[in-house]
Structure 1
Amino acid sequence: MKSYLFIVILLFVAISISGCSKSGAYGSEEAIKRGDVVYRNEVVNLEKFEQFLINLSNKKEDTIRVTAYTHEGDPIFQDLRFDGEVIHYTYDNSNDQFAGNDKGKVSDVCKEVIEKENTQGEIEYLISGCSKNLEHILISIEKKH
């Protein structure tokens, strides 16, 4: 009887853990393998982001995913799909355990990616000109001297 109870409890714990796993979430190593532009302490796959900017200026269709990670390691996805005219943008922080009331996906249509220097002297790239007046930082890199 004790072994049966132990197996039932073990099964319950296994089901509970798998039920709490983050759907669609993946770590930074997987994000890099998938070709995401990964933004944590540094930017990985920066060349993909730079190519996206070139394609924007040349009105060439392109798609990228920028994946940032919170201090706790939760992914925040920003998907940009340029159709040759506008950027279809989706911000997804549904896997961020501390997102609070703003947790979920937000989609918008935007006109551009802008570059500006922040107070730390870094260059920030932001999605801008959006119909919902969104402006999110995509990545931030050290200024080239």
Structure 2
Amino acid sequence: MKKFIFIVIISLVAIGIIGCSKSEAYGSEEAIKRGDIVYKNEVVNLERFEQFLINLSNKKEDTIRVTGYTDEGDPIFQDLRFDGEVIHYIFDNSNDEYAGKDKGKETDVCKEVIGKENTQGEIEYLISGCSKDLQNFLIRVEKKD
């Protein structure tokens, strides 16, 4: 009987750990409330992203999270923490059900965020100058006249 109770307790703990492994995932409404720069068909909290760019140019410490969503609604998090010299970057697709073998968190140290105009006349912002030669897409916005 004691062995059975022990197995039940271990099973419940394991289920709890597995169930909580994606606890960081949240939807776009929650992301907006948290102040994330949300990229899903449009950019929400764009002014926060623009302030981050200003802080980069002024060498002022700042941290933002860019949250995008897959077609299935799974969040992709990109955390940028500027320490006054470099950007500590974390790409996290651990909640993406279809990420395959590349699923998880990847960290890097980067130098800048760059904006490039695409063929549709939009500005695409990318994290760049990274030690692992990353150049990941962050957000896309309409070009301001």
Q: TM-score range by the shorter chain?
A: 0.7 to 0.9
Q: Is 1:76 matched with 2:76?
A: yes
Q: Tell me which residue corresponds to 1:104.
A: 104
Alpha-carbon distance between aligned partners in 1 of 2:95 and 2:45, rounded to the nearest angstrom = 22
How far residue 118 of structure 1 moved from its aligned partner, in angstroms, is 1.5
TM-score, length basis structure 2: 0.85
1:115/1:46 CA distance change after superposition, 3 Å: same
C-alpha deviation, 1:54, in angstroms: 0.1
Where do 5+ consecutive residues of structure 2 fail to align? 1-11
Deviating 4+ runs (over 6 angstroms): none
Amino acid at match of 1:37: I
Amino acid at match of 2:77: F
Distance in 1 separating the partners of 2:21 and 2:31 = 17
Q: Distance in 1 between matches of 2:19 and 2:50?
A: 38
Which residue is 1:59 aligned to?
59
Q: How many residues align?
A: 131
C-alpha displacement of 1:20:
7.7
Gap regions ≥5 residues in structure 1 = 1-11
Partner Cα distance (2:46, 2:36) in 1: 9
Shift of 1:119: 2.2
Percent identity between the aligned chains?
82
TM-score, length-scaled by structure 1 = 0.85
